[in-house]
Amino acid sequence: MNSKEIIRRTLDYDNPIRVAHSYRDSDFSWIGNNVKTHSTDWEKTGPSTYERYDEWGNLWGRIDDTSKGEVVKGVLTDVENVENYSFPDYSNFSDYDIANKNSDKWIIGSMPGFTFNIARKLFKLEDYLVKLLIEKELVQKIHDKLDVILFDMIRNYAKAGVDSIMFVEDWGTQTQTMISPELWREEFYPRTKKLCDFAHANGIKVFMHSCGAIGAIIPGLIEAGIDLLQFDQPALHGIDNLANHQKKGKITFWCPVDIQVTLQTKDEEIIRCEAKEMLDKLWQGKGGYIAGFYGDDASIGLEPKWQEIASDEFDIKGKREYYIK
């Protein structure tokens, strides 16, 4: 059973022989595109500061040489400026990498986000959230333009031969969603559902990463058609809560041992215990869980060995034979 089949069975809850994983010899392979955008490489601007422009023209900054950084200045100063702004053109299939049809890996097409993740970076986040409330119709015009781009990307990735797309949409702080669940349901649920439906109609799955406490909208994301949710802080959600979501809908969770709580203990027994708990409650030898690995130890202040302990536990205990009764 190769990686592609293991991932497929994981998503279908169809008894993969082992837990799928994204650490060494990952079950995943990624492809992107070569669209001409506003993107630049990181440039050093001080002793320990860096800046770059992303594909939309937003200015990013960081204070180290490994982290992803954050938006310093959005490309738009007001909603009306969008009329004079040129979005990158993602509609040409020739700009997309072609997936290796003979690959035994599960191939993911990398997306820049769905509607919210892109729109919120075009302005200062605080300004965008205010405009979303008081200038909703104007903001919706921007959302509509972005959705057209996203449909183009999904269509072209499907044509390129990916098995799924994946996007980042950081909806939460450490305590709550950035907007009310009611506003999310009104404005973003319909857009997410249309994009997921389109992906599924084109034969591909939809994976989503989100940071923060987004428990209030997880049921809506599942209902909208998200096939997999990737969380780096499973303890923030509560592993039992994630397991309960699986009982109500076929959702797969892709998580490492919690990067902010459990790994920070630097306690081997605690780390192994959480890895085993996720296998016992989320995977159970049936599917629905992928063992994760956070790709930037430096940004969370850890030596690689602590994640290697978790990976070792996943390797040892993540075999279906342990769960056959």
Average pLDDT over residues 141-162: 97
Rounded Cα–Cα distance for residues 21 and 162 (Å): 18
| Angle between helices 115-122 and 125-134 in degrees, nearest 10 | 110
User: For residue 325, what pLDDT is reported?
Assistant: 65
User: For residue 83, what pLDDT is reported?
Assistant: 83
* Cβ–Cβ < 8 Å for 10, 228: no
User: What is the residue-wise DSSP string for 218-250?
Assistant: HHHHHHHT--EEE-S-HHHH-HHHHHHHHHHS-
Convert the pLDDT of each residue in 52-86 to its tens digit.
999 999 999 999 888 889 999 999 877 777 888 99
* Cβ–Cβ < 8 Å for 285, 323: yes
Q: Are strands 28-31 and 43-44 parallel, antiparallel or unpaired?
A: unpaired
User: For residue 84, what pLDDT is reported?
Assistant: 85
Q: What angle do CA 119, 53, 38 make, to 5 degrees?
A: 80
Share of the chain above pLDDT 70, in %: 100
Rounded Cα–Cα distance for residues 231 and 211 (Å): 6
Share of the chain above pLDDT 90, in %: 89
User: For residue 67, what pLDDT is reported?
Assistant: 86
Beta bridge partners of 165: 109, 206
User: For residue 177, what pLDDT is reported?
Assistant: 94
Determine the CATH number of domain 3-38+77-322.
3.20.20.210
The residue type at 26: S
pTM: 0.95
Convert the pLDDT of each residue in 267-309 to its tens digit.
999 999 999 999 999 999 999 999 999 999 988 999 999 999 9
Beta bridge partners of 207: 166, 228
Rounded Cα–Cα distance for residues 289 and 8 (Å): 12
Which residue has 């995977």 as its token pair? Answer: 283
Beta bridge partners of 62: 50
Rounded Cα–Cα distance for residues 175 and 212 (Å): 7
The residue type at 64: D
Average pLDDT over residues 108-133: 92
| Least confident range of 55-59, 131-135, 205-209 | 131-135
User: For residue 187, what pLDDT is reported?
Assistant: 97
Residues of the chain with CATH 3.20.20.210: 3-38+77-322
Of 258, 247, 268, the C-alpha closest to 293 is 258
Mean pLDDT of the chain: 95
* Cβ–Cβ < 8 Å for 183, 228: no
Residue 21, pLDDT > 70, answer yes
| Least confident range of 125-139, 204-218, 228-242 | 125-139
Q: Which residues neighbour 162 within 8 Å (Cβ) at sequence distance 6 or greater?
A: 31, 99, 107, 108, 109, 204
Of 71, 161, 160, the C-alpha closest to 119 is 71
User: What is the residue-wise DSSP string for 148-174?
Assistant: HHHHHHHHHHHHHT-SEEEEE---B-S
